[in-house]
Structure 1
Amino acid sequence: MKKLNKIMLALSILPTLLTSVFLFFMNDTVPMHYNASGAVDRYGSKYENFILPAIILFMYAFYMVYTKIYTKYSTNSVEKINNNVKITAILVTSIIAAFNILQLMFLILAILKPDSTTFTDNVPFIINTVMGLMLIIAGNFLPKTKRNSFIGVKTSWTQSSDLAWYESNRAGGIAFVVTGVLTIIESSFIKGINSTFIMVAILLISIAVAYIYAYVKVKKSA
C-alpha cells in the first residue's frame, strides 16, 4: 500500500509540474472549451490549465482523508477494511493516471494548435479510449470489494447480505467492462463528439440492466 500511495502522490503532483513548464511555451489565450459540434466556444487564460491539476490534487487529498476516516470508524473486519482500501487506491490511482494522460494531451494541443477553432477527431477518440480503459479496470475490481459503505454499488438491498453485495457488484463490474470494451470499439469507427454521446448511452443502459439483473437475482435468493 505504501508503494501504491507513493505512486498516487507522484501522479497527483506531476500534472502541476508539467503544466508549469508548458505554460512558458503557450500563448496567453488558448482554447478552453468546445461545444457539442467540436467548435471552440470559449477561450481563456493559459493559467486555466491548472484547473485539472488542482482537481487531481483535491482527489488525492480527499482519498487520503476519507480512507483514514473509513479505517478508523468502519465496523468491518481489518481484512475487509484493508481489502476495500487497497481496491480504492488502485481505482483512484488509475483515474489519476488517466487524468495525467488527458492533461498532457490538452497541454500539447494548447501549444501546437493555439489558434484552432475546432478539435480533431483524435481528441474524442483519445478521451473515450482512456475512459473505456478506466471502466474496464473499475469493472474488474468492483466484484472484489467487500460489503461496506465506502466503495461499490451501495443501496439498501445490496447492504442486506454478502451475497446481495457480491451479486450486485459483480453485475456492475460486468456492466463497466462491457461498456469499456464497446466504447473503445465504437470510438475507432465513430468520429467526433457523437462517439462520446454513444459512450454515455451505453454506460447508462449497461448500468440499468445490471441493477435490474442484480435486484431480481437477490430477491429470488432471499
Structure 2
Amino acid sequence: MKKNLALWTWGVIAAPLVYLAFVWNQLPAIVPTHFGPSGEPDGFGPKWTLMILSAISVGMYFFMKYVPKIDPRLDQAQLSKHYPKLILLILTFLSAVHVLVIRSAIQRVTDELFINLIFVGVFLLLAGIGNYLNNIKSNYFVGIRTPWTLESESVWRKTHQTGARLFFAIGIVGALVVVWLPGVWKIVWTVGLTMLTTFGLLIYSYVVYRQEKSN
C-alpha cells in the first residue's frame, strides 16, 4: 500500500512536467506566471519558468514526508496511517493548478472559469484535509497545533474531531457558494471562512482545555 501511494505521489508530481513537455512547442516565448484576484494574468516570464511549480511540488513532498520525522513524539506513535494520503491530496491540488496554468498559457481560459476552478479546488482541498484530520496523532508539525492541544492528548483528539467535521463542511459549502460570488467577494468568502474556522478551533481548544483542568 505504501509503495503504491509513493508511486501515485510521484506520478502526480511528474504529470504536469509530462504535459509541459508534450505542449512545449505550442507555448509562446512569454507566458503568464501570476494571476490576480479576477483571474487576469498580472505577471509574465519565459516559458521555462512554468517548471518552477513542479520544483515547488518536489520540495513540498520532501518537506511533508521527512520533517515530521524529527518530531520526538513520533518515537512513540506514528503520525497517522493516512498521512501519505494527505500528502498525495495536497500534491494533487498543486499539480492540478500547474496543469491549469500551463493550459491557460496555450489557450486563454476565461477569467471567470479560471478563478472559479482555483477557488473550488481550494475548498475541495479543505474538505479532503478535513477527511484525514481526525486521524492525525499529537505532534509538533502537522494538525491543529495550539498550546492547549499540544499540552493534552484528549484536547488534541477532541479539537481534531471537531476540526475534521468543520473543515469538511466548509469545504463542501464553500465550493458550492464561491462560484456564485462576484470578483473580490470570492477572496473575502474563502479567506473569511477559513480564518473564522481556524480562529474558532483555537478558541475551542482553549475552552476544552480549561474544562479539562477544572475537572
Q: Shorter chain as normaliser: what TM range? A: 0.7 to 0.9
1:168-187, aligned counterparts within 5 Å? 168-187=159-178
Distance in 2 (alpha carbons) for counterparts of 1:206 and 1:164: 17
Partner of 1:90: 85
Question: 1:200–1:215: structure 2 CA closer, same or farther, 3 Å change rule?
Answer: same
Aligned partners of 2:140, 2:174: CA distance in 1, in Å? Answer: 29
Match of 1:127 in 2: 118
Aligned pairs (5 A) from 1:134-213:
134-213=125-204
Task: Return closer, same or farther for 1:3/1:13 CA change in 2, 3 Å cut-off.
Answer: same
Which stretch of structure 1 is more off in the superposition, 155-164 or 29-38? 29-38
> Which TM-score applies when normalising by structure 1?
0.85
Residue in 2 aligned with 1:220?
Answer: 211
* Aligned: 1:27 with 2:24: no
User: How large is the RMSD of aligned CA atoms in angstroms?
Assistant: 2.1
Letter of the 2:98 partner, please give it.
Answer: Q
Judging changes above 3 Å, is the alpha-carbon distance between structure 1 residues 156 and 67 closer, same or farther for their aligned structure 2 residues? Answer: closer
Percent identity over the alignment is 23
- TM-score norm. by structure 2 comes to 0.88
Q: How far apart are the structure 2 equivalents of 1:10 and 1:33?
A: 25
Change (3 A) 1:154 1:61: same
Confirm or deny that 1:55 pairs with 2:56: yes
- Matched residue, 2:96: 101
Question: Which 5+ residue runs of structure 1 have no aligned equivalent?
Answer: none
In 2, Cα distance between the equivalents of 1:68 and 1:162?
Answer: 19
Equivalent position amino acid for 1:46 in 2: K
CA 186–40 in structure 1, closer or farther in 2 if over 3 Å, else same:
same
Q: Is the 8 A contact 1:139 1:173 kept in 2?
A: yes
Q: Structure 2: 5+ residue runs without aligned partners?
A: none
Counterparts in 2 of 1:69 and 1:20: CA distance versus 1, 3 Å: farther
SS of equivalent to 2:147: coil
User: SS of 1:121's equivalent?
Assistant: helix
Aligned residues: 212
> After TM superposition, where is structure 1 displaced by more than 6 Å over at least 4 residues in a row?
none
Of the three residues 107, 114, 118, the one matched with 1:112 is 107
